[in-house]
Amino acid sequence: MPHQQRADGTFANPVVPGFHPDPSICRVGADYYLACSSFEYFPGVPLFHSRDLVHWRQIGNVLDRPEQVRLPASMPSSGGIYAPTLRHHDGRFWLIVTNCSEGGGNLIVTATDPAGPWSDPVPAPGVPGIDPDLAWDEDGTCWCTVAGVSQVRIDPSTGRTYGTPHALWSGGPGAKAPEAPHLYRIGEYWYLLIAEGGTERGHGVSIARGPSPRGPFEPCPANPILTHRGTDHPVQNTGHADLVQAPDDTWWMVFLGVRPGGGTPGWHVLGRETFLAPVTWKDGWPVVGEVALEASAPGWPLHPGPDEESRDDFDRTGLRPAWISVRDRPAEHYSTEKRPGWLTLRARGGSLDEPDVVFAGRRQQDLRCRARTLIDASQGRGGLAVRLDERHHYEIEASATDVRVIARVGSLNTVVASRPLPEGPAVLRVDITEPPAPHDARTGPDALTFGIEEPDGAFTALTTLDGRYLSTEVAGGFTGRVIGLFAAEGTVHFDWFDHEPLTS
């Protein structure tokens, strides 16, 4: 991807936009790799590559085979795959992660090439809790530190632990939810980086240091070293961070944050995204630089903006890495070969209300955007959806004879608009735009307009829906919007899918 330089050297945050939370990063030579949580979606743990920390390209998913991860229908949305830690040690990539579903637990996978294939999982039943971290000391001993914050010695090649977990440092007095621990040897100290305050508006990052991986740890006097709690900063919920050193010896932090919109209390709809900030050191402690949607970093390139693969014509075997499905993706229900050049979906669950719905989507990455698809629903019923979970989704659904817009908000499920559909394939579309004016304290974050494109290219809008009901502040949970294609009955074919940001 070409670097798009700016005279002032600024770059745009977030560097990995959309629902990409809990970032973990490592560098090997000139290459950076970053992994994120994926929760109920399959394949799990998206993996990105960069040469400059700003331009990221998804090169695969770590858990991309059914035998690597089981996400049962009984598992609720926002369950599943939590908080990976990605590290490189002794010539291999190591990733430890938690499967928060029945029969899950902590597991370790390895690879020599981060693009895959990754190994079958090694269970680590002796590792308690979530948010596991791996760190090796000078003699090769590996330590696993988890939310809480506690630590146990582990053999990562077998998953066997030694001894019982012992408590370390759990953040500031009274701070809730000490989690996301990462342990580093930097200079003469071992540093323990954690998140605390909960993953909502009170989220923050704190750090302590000690003489060994086991401590004892003294807290930084300037803790929290990163938080936007109680401010009007446009990036909120900042936390769950990881540190990386660049080849030029500069330091950087990746972390999650959200971009709330609308009135009070503010609604974030894209989920928790990955942001980047510079780090300097003072008196042996890290100091996090300014976090802004346009952050300054002399000599660094501008974020490239729209995904270079914004259109998919389904002309390759299988789906690109950015496509995700709900809990699983059985081959008999998803195909790009049954009708070459089309994505064919064969229904299983009856609707997006069902945990086993046949759905393939892309994370919404722009606050204002448009998504379209050409659908052939002559043999079934399906369409284009914006999904947050089973109880919060909007969709435009076509059959052989008509098209309708459905809104599911909590216990309410209703058809809000419908019209006959001419025979043959149709273009379905959703525009996500600014909410209607005038704005006040009750204004939602955005508006979603669903409709069809007529044969002459004109757009016929069927309805506009308030976006606040597809937000975390309404629905709860840990995920963000995913825009995609689904089959609710029979067999449905999609010729192409495209999405683009809207600037006005």
Return the active site residues: 22, 179
Count of helices and strands (H, E) across the chain = 1, 38
Alpha-carbon distance of 233 to 425, in angstroms, equals 46
C-alpha atoms less than 13 angstroms from C-alpha of 199 in its C-beta half-sphere = 22
Contact 23, 240 (CB under 8 A): yes
Q: 């209703």: which residue's tokens?
A: 414
Six-digit token string for 12: 């745009």
Which stretch of DSSP H or E encloses residue 474? helix 472-475
Alpha-carbon distance of 94 to 439, in angstroms, equals 49
Dihedral in degrees, nearest 10, Cα atoms 35, 395, 367, 495 = 70
Contact 251, 286 (CB under 8 A): yes
Alpha-carbon distance of 69 to 192, in angstroms, equals 29
What does DSSP assign to residue 324? B
Alpha-carbon distance of 257 to 268, in angstroms, equals 10
Q: Which of 95, 109, 35, 46 is nearest to 321 (CA)?
A: 46
* DSSP line for 260-293: -BSSSS-B--S-SEEEEEEEEEETTEEEE----S
Q: Which of 61, 104, 106 is nearest to 83 (CA)?
A: 106
Alpha-carbon distance of 336 to 231, in angstroms, equals 48
Contact 146, 127 (CB under 8 A): yes
The total number of residues shown for the chain amounts to 504
Alpha-carbon distance of 57 to 49, in angstroms, equals 5
Alpha-carbon distance of 223 to 206, in angstroms, equals 5
Contact 104, 125 (CB under 8 A): no
List the beta bridge partners of residue 27: 32
